[in-house]
Amino acid sequence: MLKLTISKIAFLSFLALSACQGTDILDDAIVDPKFELSANQTVFRLGETATIGAKYFDEYGIEKIVPYTWVSTQPQIVSVNSGGKITALTAGSAQIYTQYQNTTANAINITVVANDNAIAKVTITASKTSLTLNESLNLGISAQNINGQTVNGQTVQWFSENENILKVDANGKITAVANGVASIYGKIDGIKSNSIDFTVGSSNELMGSFIATGGYRAVGNATLKTVNGEVILNLSSNFQTSFALGTFIYLANSTNGATVRSVGLELGEIKTNGAKTFNVSQIKSGVALRDYKYVIIFCKPASLTFGYAELK
């Protein structure tokens, strides 16, 4: 029978623990807490009521019951009580959302119509959602009544949520002025449309900024690009991370440690901060620029994500 002395047991325990400091925490990647709202209808006649459902998920993606509050941006048009019951009070539009501590839900647009011929829904359309710098694109816009029939409005307006990236003129023509992501929406007679997210950037380059997880350190930027037919990953000169025995850079489509280790692409071990370059094509033949969504800073012995950058 194998016998271990106390000193040997202590030594083996030290090796296991020193692989990655702090690995006794959950392996789940930290994400932003969020709400999910659900509504069976978003267009109402005067006096109609309905109840909106809400679910809250914490930083581990686990649904929790929390004391959130309901908010209407235009309570004189649509009221909402503590149970999520909304009431259509007068014609117009409003946004309904929930909030808890620092987490706010994506709002649901509610439209109240005075009659069946009024505008109930506005829709914008685009032939594509990726633009190169200085490229322009004409968007479409239409309006329907509560029965789905096309109606004409009097006033059409266009809005960009980030004019430093995308500009839009009075005719719905957008122009890309800087790299990044921006949303465009329109209004007809004050009724807001759906929003469309547009990405502006080179077709042969993706970028992301590192986000730390689990209390570790991860800062700096990552750039994945195609150079002379090869996929190259660059980490910026301000790149910094926590280190342990066996800290590696991976490409992956998940930030979960077990998934990264099993199906992610290992690029190499790192032992210092600062700029770094990896030739991904030499590591995996036939790899494409958009095969992976994340750059992962990874403690390989413990299958633990120290940080990640989402490539966009």
Summarised one tens digit per residue, pLDDT across range 113-142 is 999 999 999 999 999 988 888 899 999 999
Distance CA 241, CA 221 (A): 12
Contact 35, 102 (CB under 8 A): no
- Give the residue from 75, 71, 79 showing the smallest Cα distance to 103: 71
Distance CA 233, CA 63 (A): 36
> What's the average model confidence in pLDDT over 167-187?
92
**Residue 187: how many CA atoms within 13 Å on its side-chain side?**
13
Confidence tier at 202 by pLDDT (50, 70, 90): low
Contact 196, 168 (CB under 8 A): no
Structure tokens at 177: 């002025």
Indicate the burial class of 206 (C-beta count within 10 angstroms; 0-12, 13-18, 19 or more): buried
Distance CA 268, CA 211 (A): 20
Q: Which one-letter DSSP state was computed for residue 65?
A: -
- Mean pLDDT score of the chain, rounded to an integer? 88
pLDDT at position 59: 81
For 285, phi then psi, to 5°, come to -65, 135
pLDDT at position 1: 45
